[in-house]
Amino acid sequence: MLSKVVGQKYMSMAKLWIPTLAVWGTVGGVAMVHMTEWRVILDYVPYVNGKFKNDK
C-alpha cells in the first residue's frame, strides 16, 4: 500500500538506507547515554543495575 503512494523507486531507495539509519540510530543512542547522566539511563538495564547499589 505504501509503495502505491510513494512509488517503487523511492521504496527501493528506502530499503537501501535502512542499515545506515540503524547504525546512526545506534550511534545517537550511545551518544545520548554518554552526554547525559549515564547512571539514570543504565539503571534500567538489569545487568548494570545491580552493580551500583551501594555507590550512592
Grid coordinates of 46: 538489569
pLDDT at 14: 87
**Amino acid at the residue 10:** Y
Model-level pTM? 0.56
- CA distance linking residue 54 with residue 56, whole number of Å: 6
Give the CA diameter of the chain. Answer: 57
* Domain extent at residue 19: 2-52
* pLDDT single digits (tens) 13-35: 889 999 999 999 999 988 988 88
Domain count, the chain: 1
pLDDT of 50 over the 70 cut: no
pLDDT of 52 over the 70 cut: no
- CA distance linking residue 28 with residue 26, whole number of Å: 5
pLDDT of 8 over the 90 cut: no
pLDDT at 22: 97
